[in-house]
Amino acid sequence: MNTIIDKIERLNHHGVKMMAIGDDWKARKSLMGAILIATKLLDKNKTITRISTARTIKKQTQSTIRSTTRKFVSKTQQILSTGIPLPTIDSDVSTNSFSSPCECTEIELESTSDGGFYTYNRAIIFHASPVSESDISTANVDLFFYSAIIMFNLALCHHRRGVRIGKNILLRKGLVLYSKCVLLMKRYLRYVGGTHFILVSACNNQAHICLEHADGAKFHACLSEVKKYMRNHSRILEFKNELFLNILMSSRLFCTAPSA
């Protein structure tokens, strides 16, 4: 498993390097390869997890039946002998906690050339952590994070090129890829909690594409997501000032004057 994750990391690194030198075709090819491998590994892990869970549930069910039977017999004997049932104590259920699986490079912000809307415009490099072959749960959580990073990079590749050459089809693909990135990050954050700059960045960049397409409803919907996460987590976002400027500017966009 670690060998496959290392390959995903290398493909992402190569894609980022190709983006840096302006070779968008090679960048997209490398990033697509990375996301396909990550998706296949996730699907494989899910299958293993379902089989393992089914076996565990079966064993637990059988064990519970045997245990319940023994407890019933024991409690019945206790009641018959003393007339007072023994108290029951609920055992604590332990939950798995997942730490952040990698470190990310800093991303710089630049305003677009059409009026000051800030976009998160630097690709992200991650450093995969080793995972035990038997620890499928942690591997899946890590893969959600890595896949979200790759999806963000792929979306950014389409986004930047679409703006540069004026192709709406690339911008639409970028919008879809940012949406997938957001979904992956939300799944990841169910386990680790809090928020993450990738999630906020993807929502913010989605808003920019909607601005390019003059889609006011989706534009404000995306920025409302940004505002929601900033409300509780703005202190951890190093680029919050730029996002605040985007939000302030958004209030003046797509507003129509009242009819006479």
CB of 139 within 8 A of CB of 1? yes
Question: Residue type at 18?
Answer: M
pLDDT value at position 172? Answer: 95
Does any domain span residue 127?
yes
Q: pTM of the full predicted structure?
A: 0.73
Mean pLDDT of 127-150: 80
Q: Considering the domain boundaries, does residue 36 fall inside one?
A: no
Alpha helical stretches, state H, 21-135: 24-82
- Does residue 85 surpass a pLDDT of 50? no
C-alpha span between 143 and 148 (Å, rounded):
8
Report the DSSP beta bridge partners of residue 111. 118
Q: Once rounded to an integer, what is the mean pLDDT over residues 199-222?
A: 91
Domain-located, residue 235: yes
Q: What is the pLDDT of residue 70?
A: 55
Strands 118-120 and 109-111: antiparallel
Average predicted confidence (pLDDT) for the chain: 74
User: What was the pLDDT predicted at 258?
Assistant: 44
CA–CA dist 79, 82 (Å, integer) = 5
Phi, psi angles (nearest 5°) of residue 110: -135, 145
Q: What is the sign of the dihedral through the CA atoms of 18, 23, 28 and 33?
A: negative
Tokens describing residue 183: 């979904």
Residue 97 within a domain: no
Q: Which amino acid is at 259?
A: S
- Percent of the chain clearing pLDDT 70 (strictly above): 65
Does the pLDDT at position 90 exceed 50?
no
Measured distance CA(38)–CA(151) in Å, rounded: 11
- How far is residue 203's CA from residue 221's CA, in Å, rounded to a whole number? 9
39-65 confidence digits (pLDDT tens) = 888 888 665 444 344 444 444 544 554
Most confident region among 44-53, 197-206, 233-242 by mean pLDDT: 197-206
CA distance 5 to 131: 9
pLDDT band at 236 (very low <50, low <70, confident <90, very high): low
The residue type of 106 is E
What is the pLDDT averaged over residues 190-216?
88
Average pLDDT, stretch 70-95? 38
Tally of structural domains, the chain: 1
- Inform me whether the pLDDT recorded for 182 exceeds 90: yes
Range from 60-64, 105-109, 135-139, 192-196 that averages highest in pLDDT: 192-196
Local structure of residue 83 (DSSP, 8 states) = S
Whole-number pLDDT of residue 50: 46
Which residue range(s) make up the domain with 151?
102-250
Give the confidence band of 227 by pLDDT, cuts at 50, 70, 90: confident
Is the pLDDT score of 110 beyond 70? no
Q: CA triplet 96, 97, 102: central angle to 5 degrees?
A: 130
Is 66 a member of any domain?
A: no
- pLDDT for the residue 71: 52
